[in-house]
Amino acid sequence: MRKYSSDVGEEDVGKEVTLYGWVHEVRDLGGLVFIILRDREGFIQITLPKKKVDPEIFKRAKKVHRESVIKVVGVVKKEPKAPTGYEVIPTSLEVLNEADAPLPLDVAEKVPAELDTRLDHRYLDLRKPRIQAIFRIRHQMLQSVRRFLSEEGFIEVNTPKIVSTATEGGTELFPISYFEKEAFLNQSPQLYKQVLMAAGLEKVFEIGPIFRAEEHNTVRHLNEAISIDIEASFMDHEGVMDVLERLIARIYEDVYENCQKYLSWLDVKIEVPETPFERITYDEALEIAKEGGEDIPWGEDLTTAALKIIGESIGGHYFIVDWPTETKPFYAMPYEDKPEISKTFDLMHGWLELSSGAQRVHQYDLLVKRISECGLNPESFGFYLEAFRYGMPPHAGWGLGAERLLMSMLGLKNIREAIMFPRDRQRLVP
């Protein structure tokens, strides 16, 4: 019977099991050989006493290279000194694929490697239990998103990633050749999810890639990332903030309940954040930053130094709300009585921005005006603007960075750790 390492237990003692995995370690003590087999669920000890196993199996075990793929059939025995408390005495050991030696990367992590080296050989890096744990938790995180938003009445959609014009203006776009035309990789599903509000779907969400041609080279920026987006009709910015903070709490709850094994591999402990999250205005954020020695003129974005001061002051998850209209995209709704301020918010965890959202402009004339005020040509937004002429409901939404959320939850030092094959200014392979 095929088993994972973590499944072998008391009920298997004296019985034959089948295991598949990689040779994590070989210890040759002359008349006794130990193989530590690693699969996706952990480790198990394969014990080969020379006098008790087939000579051919014993010979094969002594010669096998680390990271070779093997199939083991054997009898389970109790062994308190083994990693799991059990060992397997093999009746069959088949090398399915022999690994070359030496390895370009030490999977056992006895020899540390720089992040660039690890990413160059990512298939080996991902074999490490500590690294696999990140992506098992990521899997749970995305499952939680889908379940929570579905329970809240949201419909999952998929929008185009090849577009003819910028989502939010600016030049941070990757141009591509699209037959006889120039096209771009989409920065955001923003325009399409708003159009779907005019379609009457009312609540939609998408989990998909976004592309930003920003020339950043920091621990928190990627040029291809996964964005979790929602848009909801008949909600204002406060309504979608409520959805967002409850989603974050749900993700933490699910990871805490279902991923203790993987959290232990990472040596990470998490606490479910209490809701509602604290809210501070942009003006209050400027004051906190100023008190900490970072003086930022009103209307400018918050610097990294300012965010670190604010994050240390507040801690945990919090919202910065009511940003200057000029700092936000054209589709952000200004306050009616104070149009220089917009109904916008950023969700922060410490100094790291996780999400940005707003109530949207849903009136056609105001939207055209805002596009022009942002230095953009309304004619470039034809299909988008048309949707606002024939019955667009009030709506709001946000985008949440999957990698940033995972990075902040697990305390990862570099966002590249939170994505399997990162894309940044220098990295296009693997």
Cα 252 to its chain centre, rounded Å, is: 13
Q: Is the pLDDT of residue 166 over 90?
A: no
Structural contact between residues 137 and 255, judged by C-beta atoms closer than 8 angstroms: yes
pLDDT band for position 169 (cuts 50, 70, 90): low
Given a cut of 80, whether residue 305 has pLDDT beyond it is yes
- Domain architecture of the chain: domains with CATH: 5-97 (2.40.50.140), 124-418 (3.30.930.10)
The residue ranges of DSSP E strands in 250-330, in sequence order, are 278-281, 317-321
Residues 368-381 have pLDDT tens digits of 999 999 999 999 89
Q: How far apart are CA 8 and CA 38, in angstroms?
A: 13
Q: Which of 360, 355, 358, 322 is nearest to 340 (CA)?
A: 322
Kindly report the number of other CB atoms within 10 A of residue 1's CB atom.
9
Band of pLDDT at residue 165, cut at 50, 70 and 90 = confident
Is the backbone peptide bond immediately before 102 cis, with ω within 30 degrees of 0? Answer: yes
What average pLDDT does this structure show over 297-311?
A: 97
Q: Which residues are catalytic?
A: 212, 214, 220-221, 353, 356, 404
Nearest to 356 by CA among 399, 326, 319, 320: 399
* Mean local confidence (pLDDT), 222-250: 98
Per-residue pLDDT, averaged over 197-220, amounts to: 95
Please tell me the pTM assigned to this model: 0.95
pLDDT at residue 168 above 70?
A: no
Strands (DSSP E) found in 149-254:
155-156, 162-163, 174-178, 181-185, 203-211, 224-233
- Take residue 158 and report the two structure tokens written for it: 């998929």
Give the DSSP letter string of 47-74: EEETTTS-HHHHHHHHHPPTT-EEEEEE
Integer Cα distance of 152 and 242 in angstroms: 12
Q: Are 319 and 278 in contact (CB under 8 A)?
A: yes
Once rounded to an integer, what is the mean pLDDT over residues 252-266? 98
- Distance (Å, rounded) from C-alpha 190 to C-alpha 257? 33
For the segment 112-123, the average pLDDT, to the nearest whole number, is: 96
Q: Is pLDDT at 1 greater than 90 in this prediction?
A: no
Q: What is the pLDDT of residue 393?
A: 98
Q: How high is the pLDDT of residue 370?
A: 96
CA proximity to 273, closest of 302, 293, 244: 244
3-state secondary structure of 350: coil
Residues of the chain with pLDDT > 90, as a percent, come to 96
Burial grade of 211 (CB within 10 A; 0-12, 13-18, 19 or more) = buried
pLDDT above 90 for 300 = yes
pLDDT given at position 171: 61
Mean pLDDT of 50-56: 96
pLDDT, mean over the chain: 96
CA–CA dist 2, 236 (Å, integer): 53
| Tokens 């298997």 -> residue | 12
Q: What is the mean predicted confidence (pLDDT) over 297-313?
A: 97
